[in-house]
Amino acid sequence: MTADDFQRYLDAKRSVDDRSLDRRLWRQLRMNLATAADDEGPFRVLEVGAGIGTMIERAVEWDLFPGDRDVVYTAVDQEPDNTAAIPGRLADWAADRPVEASERDDGIDLVWPERTVAVRPVTADAEAFVADTDQSWDLLVGLAVLDVMGLETLPTLLSGLASGGYWYFPITIDGGTRFTPDHPADDAVERAYHGHMDTKPGGDSRAGHHALARLRDLHGATVAGVAGSDWVVYPDENGYPDDEAYFLRYILDTIEGALGEGDRGAKLDDDSLDDWLRTRREQVANGELVYVTHQLDLLGQWTGEE
């Protein structure tokens, strides 16, 4: 799969994430950040694993930022194709809204009469970036990253927060990958797919509750809220909404690639896997497949290391 394929997947995932994110926890974060509305200076956000910038769009559309404070949004991703795409995508997004977009050498400024959101994409490993800088942030965001970034990065990532800053890790996988209608190979595919996640460096198919335990024990971190944020993708009488059929095809391609790399277990031979993949792809094409993955949203505050 190419960089363009992955970016289309991230774009298609936007509507899935929007539907899945726990709105109660989002409102809780928004109310917590509102207490910073009268603070001086810009509100500073660090997003790790920022992809192509969909969380930036969502934060503006869902009114996350406090008061009328200017915002400096540092969007870190280790893939240069992703960070390079952010300014152009946000310029296109702004074209249909009452905001002026001004691209710069180091990113893009989104300018409203009452505030400016200065987006600064950075191509870097997130943990190394935080470790090597003297900057600090008021909010740390990491959507769907802890299962690949590794929980051992948490102390470093949170150390980049100013005292009293908030961290927010939504869409954190916590086991459970389900497809409907049932297929005889479902359980074997799920075990092999999650097993492949667990063998990759930093990988964890149950990152949600493992991260929760780690954050509760981490000095200087307090957990403020936890909620479910399951991906649920299903068709209606008109098929799949938006570009979610592509999202499903990408998920199936990802599973195929993962199960071609390692030990699948004795219960999943080539013929069984081929039949499972063929059946699932036909069901997507026919608007029949339902997909569910269990995930958690995690929210908390950083008071500083003891």
Query: What's the pTM value of the predicted model, to 2 decimals?
Result: 0.95
Q: Minimal CA–CA distance to 79: which of 121, 138, 39, 124?
A: 124
Q: Minimal CA–CA distance to 274: which of 252, 298, 241?
A: 252
The predicted structure's pLDDT at residue 263: 64
| CA 108/CA 266 separation, integer angstroms | 52
No. of helices (H) and no. of strands (E), the chain: 11, 10
Which tokens sit at 79? 């893939």
In the chain, the amino acid numbered 175 is G
User: What is the residue whose two structure tokens read 């809780």?
Assistant: 28
Which tokens sit at 100? 């002026």
Number of domains in the chain: 1
The predicted structure's pLDDT at residue 269: 87
| CA 64/CA 27 separation, integer angstroms | 8
Mean pLDDT of successive 10-residue segments in the chain (306 residues)? 91 98 98 82 96 98 93 98 97 95 96 96 98 95 95 96 96 96 95 91 93 95 97 96 98 93 71 95 98 98 78
User: Which structural domain, as residue segments, surrounds residue 172?
Assistant: 3-302
Calculate the CA 23 to chain-centre distance. Answer: 15
Angle at Cα 158 formed by Cα 157 and Cα 161, nearest 5°?
A: 110
Question: What is the CATH classification number for the domain harbouring 264?
Answer: 3.40.50.150
**Backbone conformation region of residue 158, classed left if phi is above 0, alpha if psi is from -120 to 50, else beta:** alpha
Helix, strand, coil: what percent of the chain each, to 5?
40, 25, 30
